[in-house]
Structure 1
Amino acid sequence: MSKQTGVSRAAIRSWQHRLEPLPRRTVPDAGPPADNCAYAYLLGLYLGDGCISAHPRGTGHYLRIACADAWPGLMRLCREAITNVRPGVSVYAVQKQGYSMMSGYYQHWPHLFPRHGPGKKHDRKIAPEPWQQVIVDAHPWEFVRGLIHSDGCRITNWTTRVVAGERKRYEYPRYFFTNKSDDIRGLYTGTLDKLGVEWTYCIRDGIPYNVSVAKKASVALMDAHVGPKH
């Protein structure tokens, strides 16, 4: 070829070397969460107010958790949970109207949250993988706390009673969890059952929409392990 083209052999060898296909870069597997306790909490946040979306160039994925601006402590806990589950992932906040989207880019988020998918969660099946259930069973309160911090709240209810002919006002704390997904509500109430927390459904338009915890002993348990958002 050198004689036919008049190009030196050294140049041809250089071209051949440059035209050889580059070796494929192997990407390591995601591996298990680095911190199972943080993962249980992050899973609760994700099931409530989280989503996973692909990078436009198809090189990885974003985990996004919506956190209301009224709860700066929640933003801090969310950021810590993401970085503890996958050390080295940078987390940044994208400001929206009334809330911030805590976002972290990582190639293997779908492996750590395998039930992700397009559309709304209540329109698709949500069930934990066996390894996820093992983590939730080992850290149930962190899972419940993540669900409450995303789609729940602790409020003070009040009622009146007539005592000795006089009507008096009484206040009592109560936890609510609101989610349209039957599967996610089932994960919440199933975990509460294992923890000995009594709960009831609040029906809206004939649909069991809210899960309420109002019994004094159960509220005390929730206060000891969950507490209000901050």
Structure 2
Amino acid sequence: MNQHSSSMRHEALALLAKGVTNAEVARLLDVPVGTVGYWLHVDRAGRGALPGRPNLLCPRCGGRPLDRAAYAYLLGLYLGDGYIMWSPQQRAPSLMISCDDKWPGLMDAAEEAMRRVFPHNRPCRLRRKGCHDVKVSSCHLWCLFPQHGPGKKHERRILLQPWQQDIVDAHPWEFVRGLVHSDGCRVTNWTIRKVAGEPKRYEYARYLFTNKSDDIRRLYTDTLDMVGVDWRVTRRGTVAYNISVARRPSVALMDAYVGPKG
């Protein structure tokens, strides 16, 4: 059975939105008409546009209460090392958070966040070389993660919707923690300083966040500003690359609310 890319699905949905029939879309894209119909069904379900009763299991289109703190953390993980995977062979798309095997505590935290955000779905772990993907499947992932789209995150715009920004504003440290646990680290730097004329090794803690997306780095720094953390940009040549937190009071804040990946 053929695998169809997410870009083809988005192209099909764009044609359907213009009024092109399922059969004509199938002919233009050379895919089964049943696949086009399924794409349309999943898209309507994700937007809460299906006829009849809404799906009460979705916080966005069904009104189920959402654990907002857990969602803020999971959103940070998704924007860092997360992605949504779907193919016509799947009954529902899957949210995958890639976690290095060096951080079993991170896998536990990601799985716990998924359970709290999707209490009616069962997360699992998929073994990869040197890492695990923590996974949960739901027909409503596109409701909760509208940033999903074709292409890499750093090659397209990543903006929060107003309801997502409200959650981040209410739980900024959970969002920061998710971003750091996915694409950040806490390191110990050192330098040599002269004390009473003698060279002395001086060590200091530092948090680094690395992401190629200008939009995601901006979401991170805007939230750091909100919680009173000083930061600066470090570059590779002329390209902005890392966000560094090194001032002692700010590192102490990060230690209190973020901490190591575990």
Work out whether the TM-score is over 0.5. Answer: yes
Match of 2:144 among 109, 112, 120: 112
| Matched-pair contact (CA < 8 Å) for 1:54–1:61 | yes
Which residue number corresponds to residue 244 of structure 2? Answer: 212
2:257 is the counterpart of 1:229 = no
The within-5 A match list for 1:38-53 is: 38-53=70-85
Question: Which one scores higher on RCO, CA 8 angstroms, separation ≥ 6?
Answer: 1
Which residue number corresponds to residue 177 of structure 1? Answer: 209
Q: Deviations over 1:133-169 (max 9, x none)?
A: 0000000000000000000000000000111121100
| Matched-pair contact (CA < 8 Å) for 1:126–1:184 | yes
> In angstroms, what is the RMSD of aligned CA positions?
1.5
SS of the equivalent of 2:202 reads strand
Q: Deviations over 1:78-134 (max 9, x none)?
A: 000011001021111111111100111111100000010122100011000000000
Match of 2:129 among 97, 115, 136: 97
Which residue number corresponds to residue 230 of structure 2? Answer: 198
Q: Deviations over 1:34-90 (max 9, x none)?
A: 200000000000000001122433632100000111011100000000110010211
The within-5 A match list for 1:157-168 is: 157-168=189-200
Same amino acid, percent of matched pairs? 57
CA separation in 1, counterparts of 2:120 and 2:212?
34
Which residue number corresponds to residue 34 of structure 1? Answer: 66
Which residue number corresponds to residue 33 of structure 2? Answer: none
**How many aligned positions are there?**
207
Q: What one-letter code is carried by the residue in structure 2 that aligns with 1:216? A: R
Q: What one-letter code is carried by the residue in structure 1 that aligns with 2:257? A: H
Tell me, which stretches of 5 or more residues in structure 1 are unaligned?
A: 1-23
CA separation in 1, counterparts of 2:126 and 2:86?
17
Tell me, which stretches of 5 or more residues in structure 2 are unaligned?
A: 1-50
CA separation in 2, counterparts of 1:58 and 1:150?
26
Match of 1:151 among 162, 170, 183: 183
How far did residue 202 of structure 1 move?
0.4
CA separation in 2, counterparts of 1:211 and 1:88?
37
CA separation in 2, counterparts of 1:59 and 1:74?
27
2:99 is the counterpart of 1:67 = yes
Which residue number corresponds to residue 164 of structure 2? Answer: 132
Q: Which has the larger radius of gyration?
A: 1
Q: What one-letter code is carried by the residue in structure 2 that aligns with 1:84? A: R
Which residue number corresponds to residue 8 of structure 1? Answer: none
SS of the equivalent of 2:206 reads strand
CA separation in 1, counterparts of 2:151 and 2:132?
21
Q: 1:76 to 1:182 in 2, by over 3 A?
A: same
SS of the equivalent of 1:87 reads coil
Q: What one-letter code is carried by the residue in structure 2 that aligns with 1:221? A: L
How far did residue 172 of structure 1 move?
0.4
Tell me which protein shows more strand as a share of its residues.
Answer: 1
Which residue number corresponds to residue 30 of structure 2? Answer: none
